[in-house]
A and B are shown apart, each in its own frame.
Chain A
């Protein structure tokens, strides 16, 4: 299977381990991946607050590049915010007046967006669960994660509102994947609630409450599995702050791994392809629970 890859800004910074492990796992399963040349920021949650047209033109710039780059290859995205922006723009471009406006803007970049179908932008979780699926994943497992209790965390924009591949309230895409790895899926009530996004910076105490509820919900698991750089940053990096803000006698300390890092562990990939030592909360307890080879 061939994909064009839109990394998004976090993948080259704080979430490099997500990109590295994602590419390693997909390539291990035979995917051929090419990074989109000259990509720029999707606008995150910021551009549409600055202006309606900017909120469409920034994602459309990348969609236009993708159309021109290699017809027929789906655009693979790992960040749920990029995914939402790209799909929102593709849907909006179905309106000819909107598409014309977008192209008036893109002219200065010498680009034209023809309005590729939203379905051509695919989230990593969708690709793993549906293009490959649990059977293809199970076939690559060399070191099953037997006994490891994993709490799937979908977050919000992975499954809503423009996501057609899973249920917006009770997503299940990770279940088959985690079971194929030999892990035990730990269900809790905050799998598809929001991580607090920018509130951790702008209104930290509100953000800490939100993150605290998610981490409390998952506390009986060995780790969480994330599929978005923002979710991962919020759940992993602020655990000390959350413990203090919520006056916990026992500090919260639960590893948060990216889903492809867990898949890579089960595939027996080396650490330079998984980068497990980059997280703020050490992943060592997870590794210690794995059966020795």
Chain B
């Protein structure tokens, strides 16, 4: 589905999960949102969002789970914490966005896969080597999304390579990953296995 225009939503006509807000912040903090809009005014990427941060938090409190999880908004968050530190209600907004991303990934939302694949590629490299390998991460990311999207960046990558900023390393094929045990243990403890 496409994100619903947030301007007018007939609450009698949409599916609502009234527990959504409390699932996101068990402390019920999100319920204290006064819709002041400080979050939107502080956000460096609000202009590019389909739903502004202020609107999104209102929709969360109204239980509009589908509309929120399908929106682009969370994927444009740069995790700069400006909304969190300025929120007059002290709501941990940035951390709640991480939670929203978790739910969207678990629900296998198909939109904005360039972002979910970014997380997946990063996580896979981290799990395999225990440390990030920037070149392999980028290679995996562009292979998983759109190889052609990498073309405009080849010149820059060449410059970085020549200056020694990118370090080529042979990828590890097969075998146990450095952090497999820890990743598996976490999954087990969270009941995902």
Residue positions of A touching B, CB distance < 8 A? 9-10, 12-14, 16, 39-41, 43-55, 57-58, 61, 101, 104-109, 156-157, 160-161, 168-169, 193-199, 201-203, 206, 209-210, 237-238, 240-241, 277-280
CB distance from A196 to the nearest CB of B (A): 6
- Smallest CB separation, B19 vs chain A (Å): 18
> Contacts of A105 on B, CB cut-off 8 Å?
182, 185-186, 189
Task: Name the B residues within 8 Å of A193 (CB-CB).
Answer: 44, 80, 82
B84 to chain A, nearest CB (A): 5
Q: How far is the CB of B143 from chain A (nearest CB, A)?
A: 14
User: Which partner residue on chain B sits nearest A203 by CB separation?
Assistant: B76
10 sampled A-B residue pairs with Cβ under 8 A: A41-B131, A52-B99, A52-B102, A156-B81, A161-B94, A197-B78, A198-B78, A199-B45, A278-B163, A278-B164
Q: Cα distance A280–B156 when bound, in Å?
A: 8
Among A40, A160, A280, contact of B159 (Cβ-Cβ < 8 Å):
A280
Are A237 and B44 also in contact (CB < 8 A) when A41-B131, A49-B105, A51-B186 are?
no
CA distance A210 to B45 in the complex (A): 8
Find the B residue at minimum CB distance from A196: B78
A47:B166 contact, CB within 8 angstroms? no
Q: Check A44/B132 contact, CB under 8 A, given A50-B123, A109-B181.
A: yes
| Distance between Cα atoms of A287 and B173 in the complex (Å) | 44
A108 to B82, CA, bound (A): 36
Tell me if B189 and A46 are in contact (CB < 8 A). Answer: no
Across the interface, name the chain B residue whose C-beta is closest to A281.
B159
Q: Which of B3-11, B28-36, B111-119 forms contacts with chain A?
A: B111-119
**B134 and A47 contacting across the interface, CB-CB below 8 Å:** no
CB of A257 to closest CB in B, whole Å:
14
B156 touches A240 (CB 8 A): yes
B122 x A44 contact (CB < 8 A): yes
CB atoms of B102 and A61 under 8 A apart: no
Cβ-defined contact, A206 with B182, below 8 A: no
Structural contact, A47 and B126, CB atoms closer than 8 A: yes
Out of B99, B118, B182, which one reaches A57, CB within 8 Å?
B182
Rounded to whole Å, the gap between the CB of A251 and the closest CB of chain B is 13
Distance in angstroms from B179 CB to nearest chain A CB is 6
B45 to chain A: closest residue by CB: A206
> In the complex, how many angstroms separate the beta carbon of B113 from the nearest chain A beta carbon?
10
Cβ-based interface call for B108 (8 A)? no
In contact, B85 and A161 (Cβ under 8 angstroms):
yes
Are A10's CB and B80's CB within 8 A? no
**9 A-B pairs closest in CB distance:** A194-B80, A9-B132, A156-B80, A40-B130, A108-B181, A161-B81, A206-B48, A49-B101, A46-B122
Q: From B184, which residue of chain A is reached at the shortest CB distance?
A: A108
